[in-house]
Amino acid sequence: MDTPRYTDLVQSLPANVPFVGPEEQERARGAPFAARLGANENIFGPSPSAIAAMCAEAENVWKYGDPTSHDLRVALADRMGVATESILVGEGIDGLLGNLVRLLIAPGDAVVTSDGAYPTFNYHVAGFGGVLHKVPYRDDHEDLTALMIRAHEVGAKLIYLANPDNPMGTWHKGADIVAALDRLPEGCLLLLDEAYVEFAPEDTAAPVAGNDPRVIRMRTFSKAYGMAGARIGYAIGAPDLIRSFDKIRNHFGMNRMAQVGALAALNDTAWLADIQAKVADPRNSIARIAAENGLTSLPSATNFVAVDCGRDGDFARAVLGALVARGVFVRMPFVAPQDRCIRISCGRPEDLAVLAEALPQALAEARG
């Protein structure tokens, strides 16, 4: 036998990943990017308190991290106004997504999402044999009503909704999401991905009770807190659901330096407020650069801006390719009609200066 005996499910899956990392693209092009504006990282970085805490903890890296993330969970529960038993800490939202799908979805189970929404969620569903049922965006927003209707039609066990949305940056009011819960099918869970909520208007976060069994919310330290490389996220859900993760999660999956860093970042509220203010300027600058080149940008409640290239997806891909060739790392939505846009992360003035120089050249090349 030349190979392991893979499962039938694994053999049926394509050998790909949701995203090609910028490092891989840099290796392929033989040069680093001059402006890294594609992964929605917080280029302004984490709180100095978080960096100091992680550095101090480095001498204890010989120890495993606390498998319950107790101190961080207590602090998060206090911040969110819920019981500690309603908080789960995991390896970023991506890790939490994988565990949630593993917990709920068996081969053949129906899952509902938006066509073009976060592809890593789809990756996990496919990996456990779930059947994805997709609904289109409406006016560049995930269509909350259509998601609920589709879930009823297919008997879905799980619905995915990002608020604010990635890749479009649009958002729903939290009160509208709470109202929609009354239309949720019996036995169906709403997965509410709030990765970007710290950048959004105040009424965006859904005011859901921590013990509401119909919803699990997921948040992260990767975006506003500037700790994407630490891989630390958290979920808020009913205590019974949170306890169920103990059956399948990686109990020693949390890096102990990430745990103490996240706790220090959470406590540095002044730094978070400064980051929220800093992101507003580059959002406005990206919109201005787009307008100077005859393009429009979508209103954004995130740390990125979706810029409408004004034609179809093939044209937007040509613009993206021309930008990458000029050292500007950006990404774009995968599904029409949202793929008429490119998605540009907020950056420093020097990053946006590179963008401002490269964009008109990229547009000219794409137009032929």
Report the candidate in 162, 244, 153 with the shortest Cα–Cα distance to residue 197: 162
Q: Which domain holds residue 354?
A: 20-45+270-367
pLDDT, one tens digit per residue, over 162-194 is: 999 999 999 999 999 999 999 999 999 999 999
Judge if 148 and 83 occupy the same domain.
yes
* Bridge-based pairing state of the strands 189-193 and 215-220: parallel
Domain for residue 52, yes or no? yes
Judge if 113 and 165 occupy the same domain.
yes
Based on the structure, what is the number of domains in the chain? 2
Tokens of 96: 């939490």
pLDDT value at residue 177: 98
Domain for residue 2, yes or no? no
Strand locations in 19-60 (E): 35-36
pLDDT, one tens digit per residue, over 260-308 is: 999 999 999 999 999 999 999 999 999 999 999 999 999 999 999 999 9
Judge if 101 and 219 occupy the same domain.
yes
Using the predicted structure, report yes or no on whether residue 2 has a pLDDT greater than 80.
no
Judge if 161 and 246 occupy the same domain.
yes
Block residue for tokens 């990765």? 195
Q: How confident is the model at residue 18 (pLDDT cuts 50, 70, 90)?
A: confident
Q: 290: how many CB neighbours lie within 10 A of its CB?
A: 22
pLDDT, one tens digit per residue, over 306-365 is: 999 999 999 999 999 999 999 999 999 999 999 999 999 999 999 999 999 999 999 999
Judge if 126 and 177 occupy the same domain.
yes
Q: How confident is the model at residue 15 (pLDDT cuts 50, 70, 90)?
A: confident
Last residue within a domain, chosen from 267, 302, 323:
267
Q: Mapping DSSP to helix (H, G, I), strand (E, B) and coil, where does residue 80 land?
A: helix
Report the candidate in 61, 16, 64, 73 with the shortest Cα–Cα distance to residue 232: 73
Tokens of 12: 């049926």
CATH number at residue 182: 3.40.640.10
Judge if 277 and 220 occupy the same domain.
no
Domain for residue 1, yes or no? no
Last residue within a domain, chosen from 267, 288, 318:
267
* Bridge-based pairing state of the strands 328-329 and 35-36: parallel
Domain for residue 3, yes or no? no
Last residue within a domain, chosen from 208, 237, 267:
267
Domain for residue 249, yes or no? yes
pLDDT, one tens digit per residue, over 56-78 is: 999 999 999 999 999 999 999 99
Q: d(Cα 222, Cα 256) in Å, to the nearest integer?
A: 16
Judge if 240 and 293 occupy the same domain.
no
Q: Mapping DSSP to helix (H, G, I), strand (E, B) and coil, where does residue 288 land?
A: helix
Q: How confident is the model at residue 1 (pLDDT cuts 50, 70, 90)?
A: low
Sign of CA dihedral 65, 70, 74, 76: positive
Domain for residue 280, yes or no? yes
Judge if 214 and 246 occupy the same domain.
yes
pLDDT, one tens digit per residue, over 76-87 is: 999 999 999 999
Judge if 32 and 65 occupy the same domain.
no
Domain for residue 358, yes or no? yes
Judge if 159 and 246 occupy the same domain.
yes
Judge if 29 and 61 occupy the same domain.
no
Judge if 346 and 229 occupy the same domain.
no
Say whether pTM exceeds 0.85: yes
CATH number at residue 288: 3.90.1150.10
Domain for residue 329, yes or no? yes
